[in-house]
Amino acid sequence: MRVAVIGGGPGGLYAAALLKRLDPTRTVTVWERNAPDDTFGFGVVLSDETLGGIQHADPAVYAALQEEFVRWDDIDVVHRGRTLTSGGHGFAALGRRRLLQILHERCRSLGVELRFGTEAPPAAELALEHDLVIAADGVHSATRTAHADVFAPRITTHRCRYIWLSADFAFDAFRFEIAETEHGVMQLHGYPYAAGASTVIVEMREEVWRAAGLDACDEQESTERCAKIFADALDGRSLRGNNSSWTAFRTVVNDRWSHGGTVLIGDAAHTAHFSIGSGTKLAVEDALALVACIEEQPDLPTALVAYESERRPVVASTQRAAQASLEWFEQLETYTDQQPRQFAFNLLTRSRRVTHDNLRLRDPAFTASVERAFGCEPDTPPMFTPFRLRDLTLRNRIVVSPMDMYSATDGVPGDFHLVHLGARALGGAGLVMTEMVCVSPEGRITPGCAGLYTPEQATAWRRIANFVHTQSPGTAIGIQLGHSGRKGSTRLMWEGIDQPLPADESWPLSAASPLPYREGINQTPHELDRTGLIDIREQFAAAAWRAARCGFDLLELHCAHGYLLSGFLSPLANRRTDGYGGSLAARLRFPLEVFDAVRDIWPDDRPMTVRISATDWAPGGTTPEEAVEIARAFAAHGADAIDVSTGQVVPDEQPAYGRSYQTPYADRIRNTLDVPVIAVGAISSWDDVNSLLLAGRSDLCALARPHLHDPNWTLHAAADQDYKGPGAPWPLPYQAGSRRPRTGRTDGPKPRLTLA
């Protein structure tokens, strides 16, 4: 096999060394356009997981690295002059130049040809004479650009500028520090990588960078300015650069990683923000996986497919964490007013890879201090602290999210709804929400949707509310009121989601604008005129009047997911030219009119929330910035909390799914407006809930699918955390089941003797 490697960074060099070590008959050549001692940046951080892979694959490289590593456990977070330290994190770093020297030496000892100061021929030319071409040519990969039609790269440039510098002393820990300047917030990321050296990265929003005049500074001026801004962190010492310049981070994603015998690794294939320290780690792990697949598979095409299949989910997970981290730093100014311990916890858990439970294992004393600052009673997890909205005090922070059951008859909830909602109330949640309850027959999504527009429906709902209050004292029950708008008159979900009803079973639709949900498939609604708007507003008010008399504790107005009120808010669904369309203020007009009408009817002592879609996940739709303004408007009109969901407004949306993927939108609204929020969206574990609450990203957490899987999710979360307090009492008839049932023995006889 003849192998060409484009790029002499850690990933390319390590792939070359492994390929040659495993088969000395291979001809492996590395092209690097820079000189051997040229390098950019300073320190490199590698995880224990990555080092374990290196140790297994090439003990010689591992041994050389071990001699160079600087190790430390602590992270220092400096918040307005106060330093908070969290331990138990376990980092290992060394200088990038030294890492490259080790890999150069290893490659030479194995017979790899290293061509420094030489621009590599294009990958297409190399592929004519080589069996395998490894493109390790970085974030600005010429290989990726030349074959963009195959790799299909998507490159996103982010909002912050950063510069990579060095200090000639070693920090005692990984250090995060912020500077609140007249121009805006700036941050320092620093860590030691040698006995007398540290990497220092200074980062800030682009508008702050420009306002401070740093856009006009050369390397020397930038270095001096940064040293002055962070003089306390540096103890008055200077900084130095190394061809350092201000850069905007770019996230690179490719639809494919290989083309014939050419394959992308490292930053050429994908990038991960430096705040989670994964660029070199990912490149080295790519090299390990690529070479392993070549060894394991019968031929090169199969190996390249296996490599991508193995690495893509790992990289996607890392990129989601990196995205969460970089967005946290982009929004840093929204967190600076947090209490110091909460700020530190928020920073440490920003990527969602470090969680409350994980941090409690790493540093129990630090985590306990954060819990006390949050207001947790002794031995009480954050999720079991009470929360008050007006005169309603929820005994814990768990909400059973509204979930359409499509099981009503003529809008009347039946025994199914009694058992469904009653079971989840008995299961320990602080608040149980109904599905979207429709305010008119025409406002239903499907024939199976529940309503609250007749006395019979009200009687049925009163029965359910009474059951919750009498059989699960302390559990609150809330009602969500909505109107389907252009998404109505469709089949039951399991008969075809969003599929229209047969013509003889359908009903006419109304919406903000005469735009069908799906052109040529769904019915075209008629545009509501002033009379129609007044009628619907009164339908909402009438339903709220009935809901109050049914005994519901909380009312939520559904302004999300493309239904009627959401359709007014989204520019993709609202094309009106009158006073209810156009600007955001105009698009808000009718939803606010409905909110005011409902708030006037709803008892003053009972809270009212609003669910919104914080993004449409589609070009031209509602933006996160607009979502903040939408939340601000509802809060100004008296909303007690904002339930922050996303999407489902247009069928061609492209959500960025992932664990807790919607919570950053709730976080942004809460910490920008200081209004309570309910976070929702792939929150699946009690550890996630505790983490979100302690970090100040949410006040309540709504879970849907976990409550379908386990109606007793909250009680089981309490049992898993050994919590037996008032935030999650077991119903008296169920108390015998509060301990996990015994299973068969899994332990064998203990060994008594050890034989040599």
Q: Catalytic residue numbers?
A: 563
211 touches 194 (CB < 8 A): no
398 touches 441 (CB < 8 A): no
Terminal alpha carbon distance of the chain: 46
Concatenated DSSP letters of 44-69: EEE-HHHHHHHHHH-HHHHHHHHHH-
Six-digit token pair at 448? 């199976």
- Among candidates 401, 392, 381, which has minimal Cα distance to 716? 381
List the beta strands (DSSP E) in 216-338. 247-254, 258-259, 262-264
Q: Report the 10 Å Cβ neighbour count for 225.
A: 17
Round to whole Å and give the CA distance between 83 and 456.
61
Amino acid, single-letter form, for residue 163: I
446 touches 406 (CB < 8 A): yes
- Among candidates 558, 561, 568, which has minimal Cα distance to 598? 558
134 touches 15 (CB < 8 A): yes
Give the residues across from 240 on adjacent strands: 166
Q: What are phi and psi of 37, to 5 degrees?
A: -95, 0
CA atoms within 13 A on the CB side of 628: 14
Round to whole Å and give the CA distance between 449 and 429.
24
Q: List, in order, residues 6 or more apart from 401 with CB less than 8 Å away.
A: 433, 680, 702, 703, 704, 707
Q: Report the 10 Å Cβ neighbour count for 367.
A: 22
Six-digit token pair at 61? 């490289």
SS3 230: coil
- Among candidates 328, 252, 254, 258, which has minimal Cα distance to 300? 258
Specify burial of residue 467 (Cβ count, 10 A radius: 0-12, 13-18, 19+). middle
Round to whole Å and give the CA distance between 558 and 655.
20
193 touches 205 (CB < 8 A): no
User: How are beta strands 392-394 and 174-181 bridged, if at all?
Assistant: unpaired
Amino acid, single-letter form, for residue 421: L
Round to whole Å and give the CA distance between 385 and 374.
9
Name the DSSP letter for residue 490: B
Residue 343 host element (H or E):
helix 340-348
SS3 192: strand
Round to whole Å and give the CA distance between 78 and 134.
42
- Among candidates 606, 621, 643, 617, which has minimal Cα distance to 482? 643
Round to whole Å and give the CA distance between 25 and 19.
10
Q: List, in order, residues 6 or more apart from 251 with CB less than 8 Å away.
A: 155, 156, 158, 271, 273, 319, 322, 323
Amino acid, single-letter form, for residue 724: K
- Among candidates 705, 671, 94, which has minimal Cα distance to 350? 671
SS3 215: helix
405 touches 435 (CB < 8 A): yes
Round to whole Å and give the CA distance between 567 and 486.
8
Six-digit token pair at 164? 């990579």
